[in-house]
Chain A
Amino acid sequence: MTDVLAVQTKRRSRLRISKQLRTPLALTGGVIVAFWLLVAVFAPLIRPFDPLAQDFDRLQAPSAAHWFGTDQVGRDVLSRVISGAQVSIPLALMLVIFAMLIGSVLGAIAGYFGKALDETIMRIADLVFAFPTIILAMVIAASLGPSLTNAVIAMLIVSWPAYARVTRSLVLGARNAEYVVAGRLLGNGPFTSLSKDVLPNVVSPVVVLATLDVGTAILLLSGLSFLGLGAVPPTPDWGAMVSDGVQNFSSWWIAAFPGLAILTVVLAFNFLGDALRDALDPRSQEAVQGRAL
């Protein structure tokens, strides 16, 4: 009978999460994200032309042959938008994963050990927070020289402190929980204690923050490319394509389609992150602080 009970509670919790992820917004977000991931993976197969080939007449309006038209040097815009997914999405995901790893490890160390280590790490984080994100990223990217790698490094430098702050505050709350103290009494050293008892209980809010951040990362990356500090021509990057479009303002299709791509991806990741937050947050708060009596 106890087994039946266990199965029931398991099934119920799975149902509850999926119900919260089954809202219209979450579904829309999920479908669009899945669509763009498929586009990124199968880009070489589905793009009609070579994104770098300047084979066509310049500045053609959208037509049956070129659905999204051609740009100022005669490249097919549809092929470039499809290839752009291969540039922006993997880089944004990688960036968010690395920022999360660096930020949460530093934040966890700051929160758990406290004192001088805490002060040092968090003051550096404050230093980064003191500048507007895009300006600081621009300065760093400009000083490193324009390339996608440098843009990602610059964004990594500006985006880890958010994760450090969130993780630190969660670790501060969790490190004096009785189960952590009980673990210490059983001989857990500080790193065992962190990895075994503290981090598993604070990880879900950080993951939610990361999901919400993917959209921002794509936007920031496109922004840097737009300003000429990211992708170097002729790399098909959405931000750089919007920038091309601005220089040929009468040919609206050059900027509009990559712009739409950015809009849909960012919006979709935000929907997904919101739904994930709604699904995970109450549970994780309860888990970190120990349920009230």
Chain B
Amino acid sequence: MTLLSLDDVRVTYKLPGRGTLNAVDGVSFDLEPRQVLGLVGESGCGKSTLARAVCGLEPTSAGSISFNGQRIGKLGLRKRDPALMRIQMVFQNPFASLNPRRTIGSQIEDGLRVNPDRDAWNVAQLLEHVELDASSRDRYPHQFSGGQRQRIAIARAIAAGPELLIGDEPIASLDASLQARVAKLMRKLAVETGAALLFISHDLSVVRVIADDVAVMSAGKIVERGPVDRVWTNPQDAYTQRLLAAIPVVDGLGRLPG
């Protein structure tokens, strides 16, 4: 059965004055359980808005999003439906996504509390799975580096036992040397726990390493979707071709992409 299904989803913002902006403009796709889908596109193309809509954080103006057959509405100020807590998100900015006043152990426990399988994990195991010292559970977020914090955020999301893990540009604010490592860690944990992964990034070269399928988004629409190797070697859409051409090539000639 399809895990996540989007049907002609639109998210519209009112602009100051009369106009409107279609941040997401008629997106339809399906995600199967345990599938790893990369969503790429330039900044401002609506990737993050789409991710927020899937979490119920952004109201859709048309179309429907359903998760395990259950329709996802706006979260608003209500308590989140326990069934929808099987969707968890890792945010872009590791410096803002952890509460600075609480120990990381207690924040990971927040995730464990909503896991339907109570004994699946404990905090120490989770910390070890994201390659951190189990003894660091009593420390505060400011005592960690950006990459470490992002791994703590991943541990918190995994703690909740998600069936769908969303990474909203989780590597965009990390050092180049850490990007592939964190991306691979997310894939590894998603595959181990049987979760599907929707990995959003503007960097096709990282997505290629971890994703099964890739969807390319431009100006609110999905212009191309397919297995990652096919899109990488044989892009069909003109936008995808340009996106690929913009990836720098290490050939020692000092050429700039474009």
Contacts and interface: CB of A to CB of B under 8 A. Distances in A.
Nearest to A199: B101
Contacts of B99: 179, 183, 196-197, 200-201
Chain A contact residues, majority secondary structure: helix
B114 A186 contact: yes
Interface string A184-215: 11111110000011001100000000000000
Interface in A1-53: 2-3, 5-6, 9
Nearest to B111: A186
Nearest to A114: B77
Given A182-B91, A291-B95, A187 B100 contact: no
A178 B97 CA distance: 5
Contacts of A179: 96-100
Interface stretch (B2-10, B82-90, B229-237): B82-90
Interface string A145-181: 0000000000000000000000000000000011101
Interface residues of A, number: 29
Nearest to B89: A185
A256 B97 CA distance: 56
B153 interface: yes
A228 B253 CA distance: 89
Contacts of B78: 189
B156 A2 contact: no
A187 B86 CA distance: 11
Given A177-B96, A200-B101, A187 B82 contact: yes
A233 interface: no
Interface residues of B, number: 37
Interface in B121-174: 133, 135-136, 139, 142-143, 153, 156, 160, 173
B101 A186 contact: no
A182 B82 contact: no
A187 B88 CA distance: 11
Interface in B60-93: 75, 77-80, 82, 85, 87-89, 91-93
B30 interface: no
A184 B133 CA distance: 27
Given A186-B110, A189-B78, A196-B102, 11 more contacts: A113-B77, A178-B91, A182-B156, A185-B87, A186-B111, A187-B85, A196-B99, A197-B99, A287-B101, A290-B95, A293-B173
The 8 closest A-B pairs by CB, nearest first: A290-B96, A189-B79, A178-B97, A200-B101, A178-B96, A178-B91, A179-B99, A287-B100
Interface of B: 55, 57, 75, 77-80, 82, 85, 87-89, 91-93, 95-102, 110-111, 113-114, 133, 135-136, 139, 142-143, 153, 156, 160, 173
29 contacts: A6-B139, A9-B142, A178-B91, A179-B96, A179-B97, A179-B98, A179-B99, A179-B100, A182-B89, A183-B110, A184-B80, A185-B55, A186-B80, A186-B85, A187-B80, A187-B85, A187-B113, A187-B114, A188-B79, A188-B110, A190-B77, A197-B99, A200-B99, A200-B101, A201-B100, A290-B93, A290-B95, A290-B100, A291-B96
